[in-house]
Structure formats: structure tokens, C-alpha cells
């Protein structure tokens, strides 16, 4: 029976590589049944954690609403805590679900935290830090995530061209907000926008035919 030292998988047939990590298996000379990691059990644990967090979030919000009803001057903080708890629960759900790809998860969670931080800024005095710093920081994070995802998924790197185009459009929106004086810090906006263009240009130049074919397939260009 062969065993993968990395995954802990035990195989009884003649396979010489692990079906999960493709590492070379070591044969211990015994026979037995195939044993695979209990992935379903890990999913159940995370689902149980999600239910606990959801229950505690509901309890916390009910407590704050009762305090608000009793006359406590905590309306703004009630909204802020509600937004934070909403993001925590959405993040846990997006983390454990397998029906959504990493690219969409990254985009959705990043934009969600942006809107939540804008809400927090608004309900805590509106000092505009959410526009000046959060928006360009979100674009910088999306650019970094795009490069990281392409490195991790090297076999299908061209599928992240759509994220790069989204980042360029996001950069255009930030430039418009900068011209309208809604964003007052130009340095981060320029860095984020330039990074988006450089990453896309590098992908198209070094990606060659695969990048061009992906662009045609997705956008009929």
C-alpha cells in the first residue's frame, strides 16, 4: 500500500503519484483500503462555525436595538456594528462555498468592504477617508490579488484577464472621482491606475496568442 507523506492519502492500487498533490507515493509493502482525507467533515465544521457566528450576530444586533429603543444614543454605532457583522458573515459564507470561483470571491468581498467602510465613514462623522484611501487601496489590492491568482493558477492564467479589465475600469472611475474632487489624494489613485494598465499590458504582451484568444472569447474583440 502506497502513502503520500504530504496529504496522508493511502492508495492500494498501482498508482505511483498522489491524486491530490501529484507527489510520488511511498510503498510500505502492505495492503489495505484506500483512505482519503475527510473533506466533508471539515466543511461541516465550517458550516457549524458559520451558524454560531450568525446566531451571535443576531443576538448582538437585537441587544443594540433594545438599547436603542430604551433611549441609548447609539444609532450610528448600531449601523456600524451591523455593517461589520454583515461583512463577517458574508466572508465566512463566501469562504466555505465551492460554487463561486476565487476571482468572483475576491471582487465581491473587496467591493463589499469598500461599501461598508464608506458607510462607517458616513456614520462616524464623514471625514472622507473612505474615498481618499479606501477606494484606491481596494484597487491596489485587486491588482495584487490578480497577479497572485495568476501565479497560483498558472495553467489557466488567461482567465483573469477579465479581472484586469475590471481593474482598469475601476481606475477610470477613480480618476473621474479625482477630477470631481470627491477623492482628494491623487498619489494612490495614480499608482493604482498605473498598476492596472501595466499588469494588463504585460499580460497581453507576454501572454501572446493565449491572451488574445481569451480576449476574443470573452469580449468578442
pLDDT of residue 220: 67
* Domain boundaries, position 189: 127-221
Question: Quick one: pLDDT at residue 189?
Answer: 94
Let me know: does 118 contact 134? Beta carbons within 8 Å: yes
Domain-embedded: residue 131: yes
Q: What is the mean pLDDT of each run of 10 residues along the chain (221 residues)?
A: 67 66 60 52 78 93 92 87 89 78 85 90 88 94 93 86 93 94 92 94 90 79 58
Question: How far apart are alpha carbons 213 and 207 in whole angstroms?
Answer: 10
48 inside domain: no
In a domain, 219, yes or no: yes
Q: Other CB atoms closer than 10 Å to residue 89's CB: what's the count?
A: 16
- What is the model's pLDDT at position 221? 58
Residue 90 domain flag:
no
How far apart (Å, rounded) are the C-alpha atoms in residues 158 and 147?
11
Whether residue 178 lies inside any domain: the answer is yes
What is the number of structural domains in the chain? 2
Please state the pTM of the whole predicted model: 0.70
52 within domain boundaries: no
Looking at residue 20, what is its pLDDT? 66
- The β-bridge partners of 51 are none
d(CA 77, CA 185): 27
Is 210 inside any structural domain? yes
79 lies in some domain: no
Amino acid at each position: 500500500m502506497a502513502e503520500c507523506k504530504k496529504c496522508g492519502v493511502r492508495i492500494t492500487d498501482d498508482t505511483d503519484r498522489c491524486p491530490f498533490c501529484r507527489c510520488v507515493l511511498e510503498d510500505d509493502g502492505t495492503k489495505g483500503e484506500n483512505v482519503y482525507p475527510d473533506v466533508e467533515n471539515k466543511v461541516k465544521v465550517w458550516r457549524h462555525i458559520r451558524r454560531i457566528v450568525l446566531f451571535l450576530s443576531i443576538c448582538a444586533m437585537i441587544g443594540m436595538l433594545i438599547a436603542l429603543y430604551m433611549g441609548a444614543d447609539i444609532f450610528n454605532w448600531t449601523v456600524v456594528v451591523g455593517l461589520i457583522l454583515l461583512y463577517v458573515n458574508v466572508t465566512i459564507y463566501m469562504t466555505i462555498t465551492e460554487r463561486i470561483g476565487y476571482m468572483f470571491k475576491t471582487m465581491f468581498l473587496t467591493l463589499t468592504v469598500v461599501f461598508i467602510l464608506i458607510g462607517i465613514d458616513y456614520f462616524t462623522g464623514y471625514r472622507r477617508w473612505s474615498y481618499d484611501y479606501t477606494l484606491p487601496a481596494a484597487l491596489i489590492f485587486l491588482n495584487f490579488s490578480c497577479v497572485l491568482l495568476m501565479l497560483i493558477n498558472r495553467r489557466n492564467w488567461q482567465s483573469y484577464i477579465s479581472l484586469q479589465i475590471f481593474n482598469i475600469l475601476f481606475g477610470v472611475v477613480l480618476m473621474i472621482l479625482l477630477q470631481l474632487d470627491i477623492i482628494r489624494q491623487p498619489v494612490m489613485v495614480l499608482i493604482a491606475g498605473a498598476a492596472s494598465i501595466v499588469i494588463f499590458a504585460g499580460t497581453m504582451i507576454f501572454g501572446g496568442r493565449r491572451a488574445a484568444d481569451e480576449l476574443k472569447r470573452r469580449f468578442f474583440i
